[in-house]
Homo-oligomer: A and B are copies of this chain.
Amino acid sequence: MSSILKIALVQSNFKVGDLKYNSSKIIEVIEKAKIKKLDLLCFPEMAVSGYPPEDLLLSNAFHKQIKKALNNILKHTVGITCIVGHPSIKKDKILNSASVLRNKKNIGTYNKNELPNYGVFDEKRYFSSGNEIFNFKIKGHKIGLSICEDIWINESKYLNKDIPDLLLNLSASPFTINKQKQRMSIIKNFISKSKIPVGYCNLIGGQDELVFDGNSMFLNSEGKVVGCAKSFHEDLLVTNFPFKNIKSVKTNAKNAKVFDALVLGLKDYVSKNGFSKVVIGISGGVDSALVAAISVKALGKSNVLGIAMPSKYNTKISNTLAHKLCANLGIKLKIMPIHELFDLNLNLLYENIFQNTTWDITEENLQSRIRSNILMAISNKMNYMLLSTGNKSEMSMGYSTIYGDLAGGFAPLKDITKSMVYKLCISYNRANPKNKIPNKIITREPSAELKHDQKDSDTLPSYEILDEVLNLYVEKFGTVDEISSSLGLSKAFVRKIVNSIQRNEFKRRQGPPGVKVTDISFGKDRRFPITNGFENF
């Protein structure tokens, strides 16, 4: 005889490595769930350790403390069943595990079978595969467990064996623009073949370059969503099983919430690294404007400091727009002109070593680096994290100064193309009519303003075209031939862009982390050699 089961998916924000914080948080949720008389709690993949713990997994001290944390959690499981994700060690093998804890006993552990080892994932570096399925009984129901990638790949393991009444999947699935759509299709495909209802519990929160978006769900045996948690916020998704025959719930599938991902990614990177404030070089251009808007949403306006550092090449309108932006957003702006520092640097260089040379890109980079020195001094003295404002289009082409505008603790726009920067500004303005980014910032022609009358278009192809090439080359691994015929561009033109992306790997390698939102971001996701003689034909 089975009776009604009160289940909750616990969509919480954990901290990688902070086992005390994570276990206290888990215990807090358990104690509240007892009051609510819940039967079963499901936490996300690796809740105890945070995800991904990377090489912490190779440390004995780490595994010892994981065991301690699990024992502490265990003490709180009287009268309730909790499924907790954690790393474990069995016969010298490291496993990605989910343990079922009940009445102070571990009543069974499932070990992840499918270990992703592509893109940002390195699970085969650490884990051995579990190679088994696992079910347990509660109130007459048979519950099966799987972990993240398992449901993406090996649904067949469940189809002909010991079929559960409900499959719970513990995930740590990072956000990308297309991810929720992909997840829905994967999970619905699993259900259409197996007829097993699913509870999908995903992590939320930022961890270095990843943002986990939550969107935990219950789906019935017809593949209808019968419950859905928030995206980008902590949530507790409670339901009764068997599910009532209700209409399917609206999900967030079609909303590519890039802005929310950037806000959460920045907020968590700053706070989890012990900062509360950020400093931004405000140029009067669109990138720094968007970074400022994201920062205000993430940290509050009193925690965002703008610094404008005009040189003789900055137009008056840039200065005006910087002021207007900061007034609109309600953040402080300091003006620190760099003319004198620039001249003194040039004197020293031209007297000692640049005799008989002429102005080139050196002088442009120098201005950018004088600015980053000022910003880093403010960061050091006043404990503001410096944000780099470069976008993906610039970084792909090396249109940024290493140790200059590329400098910073975090680069919120690292995976945002210039085209997407404009889109995000426009949608931000629509949603925030009282704190707008001045329209002129969005409509003016982009310029680095490092020499007289400079425009980005002097050096770069139009961003519209560049961003299409970028997408096909970086995210779709297109060849020069494929890209040029697909976009109707000359091969020589595409080849120039593609080789430029390759040649600038050395700069990106020394750049700050930033939130991944596309299918392939620069970072752990894309591992090209710096020393690379490949010529794209």
Contacts and interface: CB of A to CB of B under 8 A. Distances in A.
A72 to B, nearest CB: 15
B365 A378 contact: no
A349 B365 contact: no
Contacts of A378: 349, 353
Interface of A: 15-21, 50, 52-56, 58-62, 64-65, 117-118, 122, 124-125, 206-208, 268-269, 272-273, 334-336, 340-341, 344-345, 348-349, 352-354, 357, 360-362, 365-366, 369-370, 372-374, 376-378, 380-382, 402-403, 407, 409, 477, 479-481, 506, 509-513, 526-537
Given A117-B124, A354-B381, A380-B365, A531 B374 contact: no
B376 A531 contact: no
A35 B32 CA distance: 83
Contacts of A340: 344, 348
Given A61-B537, A65-B537, A56 B532 contact: yes
A206 B529 CA distance: 12
A117 B125 CA distance: 5
A344 B348 CA distance: 13
Given A117-B125, A366-B373, A528-B55, A534 B62 contact: yes
A344 to B, nearest CB: 6
A266 to B, nearest CB: 12
Contacts of A360: 380-381
A60 B74 CA distance: 51
Given A334-B352, A340-B344, A529 B374 contact: no
The 4 closest A-B pairs by CB, nearest first: A18-B533, A17-B534, A362-B380, A61-B479
A336 B352 contact: yes
A361 B380 contact: yes
Given A207-B531, A208-B530, A349-B377, A372 B403 contact: yes
B373 A345 contact: yes
B56 A529 contact: yes
A471 B18 CA distance: 25
A387 B340 CA distance: 28
A348 B361 contact: no
Nearest to A58: B477
A481 to B, nearest CB: 8
Contacts of A529: 16-17, 52-54, 56, 207-208
A340 B52 CA distance: 47
Contact of A59 (B65, B407, B477, B506): B477
Contacts of A354: 381
Contacts of A402: 376, 407
27 contacts: A16-B529, A16-B531, A17-B529, A17-B532, A19-B534, A52-B529, A59-B477, A60-B477, A60-B479, A61-B480, A61-B537, A118-B125, A122-B527, A124-B124, A208-B529, A208-B530, A273-B530, A334-B352, A335-B352, A336-B348, A345-B374, A348-B374, A362-B377, A365-B376, A365-B380, A370-B373, A403-B403
Contacts of A65: 534, 537
Contacts of A509: 513
Given A122-B122, A334-B352, A510-B511, 18 more contacts: A15-B533, A17-B529, A50-B533, A52-B529, A53-B529, A54-B527, A54-B528, A55-B527, A56-B529, A61-B481, A62-B534, A124-B124, A341-B344, A353-B382, A354-B381, A357-B381, A366-B377, A373-B403
A402 B386 CA distance: 12
A102 to B, nearest CB: 28
